[in-house]
Amino acid sequence: MHVTFRQLKVFEAAARLLSYTRTAEALHLSQPAVSMQIKQLEENVGMSLFEMLGKKLFLTDAGKEFYGYSKAIFQQLDEAEAVIKSMKGMHSGRLKISVATTASYFTTRLLAAFSRRFEGVQINLDVTNRESLRRQLEDNEPDLVIMGQPPEGIEVDAQAFMSNPLVMIAPADHALAKESQIDLNRFTDERFVVREKGSGTRGAIERFFKKHEVPFHTGIEMSSNEAIKQAVEAGLGLGIASIHTLELELETARLAVLEVKDFPIRRQWYLVSRKGKRLSVAAEAFREFVLNDAKQFIRLPG
């Protein structure tokens, strides 16, 4: 099978974008040029890689297989480029970081501090949910991931670098806000505003209540921490959230942390990568920075 680098580059973009028009725009080619490269590639492969259903472009089964290999090839090329750049020193390089939504509250501070040390490093940050982080790790897309509990079923290297306490929150004027050592059984009939199923925070909360044999009732599901905080402030229920997300609300006395027995729920933040992944010099520098210096750049509410 004879495949040119140009054909592979055009195919990878078309498979990712699923549009010849957007592929042409992304690669600064004409649409006929894109179609020609794909056609020549399919002739070389001996199978159709795309199919058009209605006005939508889809990968065939062969195309899906070929796309996996093409991504791996370009990842290898990126690693080779990073190694060559590392031989020239840390004056340039790229860093691709993906983080859990909750971690975004402090990750931007970490990246700002890191950028001041390594001004030549280009950073790409993706803030997403746990399921997307798992998929990205499976596909070996990011250099490093910052998340709560590392995913099961994927071979990863994971290092804990900071605690992530989950606390119970209520409106500042809530009747329990001035009490201390509140028994967890007081919340047997309470409704909670929580993250969606599948999120790391939701899973940790449900495991905690099950361990203490206390019923946990979901009132409203929200897909973001900001929505949860606003709902709790409005009186739609109590919430449980990472202390890292509450700095502004506690400073302005819009929310209160309830002093509940056995709280906070103890969790950790982890720095995660695929097991055996060869980190670029930039990614290795960021890993060392997070493990050694992260805490001094992160402010926690009192």
Asked whether the predicted pLDDT for residue 89 surpasses 80, the reply is no
Same domain membership, residue 234 and residue 174: yes
Of the ranges 82-96, 99-113, 283-297, which one carries the lowest mean pLDDT score?
82-96
Cβ neighbours for 122, distance < 8 A, ≥ 6 positions apart: 92, 93, 94, 95
Contact predicate 27/10, CB 8 Å: yes
224 closest CA partner among 206, 241, 205, 236: 241
pLDDT range class, residue 77, cuts 50, 70, 90: confident
- Peptide linkage before 165 cis (omega within 30 of 0): no
pLDDT digits (tens, 9 = 90+) for 46-58: 999 999 998 899 9
pLDDT digits (tens, 9 = 90+) for 216-226: 988 888 888 89
Strands 121-128 and 255-257: unpaired
pLDDT range class, residue 278, cuts 50, 70, 90: confident
Contact predicate 164/242, CB 8 Å: yes
Q: Which residue has the higher pLDDT, 242 or 299?
A: 242
pLDDT digits (tens, 9 = 90+) for 57-72: 999 999 999 999 999 8
- First and final CA of the chain: distance in angstroms? 63
pLDDT for 76 equals 84
Confirm whether 80 is domain-assigned: no
Same domain membership, residue 184 and residue 158: no
Asked whether the predicted pLDDT for residue 302 surpasses 60, the reply is no
Confirm whether 262 is domain-assigned: no
Total number of domains in the chain: 3
pTM of the full structure: 0.66
Average pLDDT over residues 163-182: 92
**How far is the C-alpha of 150 from the C-alpha of 146, rounded, in Å?**
9
pLDDT digits (tens, 9 = 90+) for 253-270: 999 999 999 999 999 999
Q: Which domain holds residue 138?
A: 89-163+268-297
Cβ neighbours for 70, distance < 8 A, ≥ 6 positions apart: 8, 11, 12, 15
- CATH number for the domain spanning 214: value is 3.40.190.10
Same domain membership, residue 274 and residue 130: yes
For 26, list phi and psi in degrees, rounded to 5.
-65, -35
Same domain membership, residue 145 and residue 288: yes
Of the ranges 27-31, 88-92, 111-115, 230-234, which one carries the lowest mean pLDDT score?
88-92
Tell me which amino acid residue 206 is.
Answer: E
Confirm whether 82 is domain-assigned: no
Tell me which amino acid residue 14 is.
Answer: A
Contact predicate 240/166, CB 8 Å: yes
Confirm whether 302 is domain-assigned: no
Domain boundary among 71, 99, 127: 71
pLDDT digits (tens, 9 = 90+) for 188-213: 888 899 888 877 888 889 999 999 99
pLDDT for 86 equals 60
Q: What percent of the chain has pLDDT over 70?
A: 95
pLDDT for 254 equals 92
Average pLDDT over residues 156-182: 92
Same domain membership, residue 132 and residue 98: yes
* C-alpha dihedral, 136 to 223 to 185 to 247, nearest 10°: 90
* C-alpha dihedral, 211 to 215 to 219 to 220, nearest 10°: 20
The two three-digit tokens of residue 109, written as one number: 């501070």
Q: What percent of the chain has pLDDT over 90?
A: 60
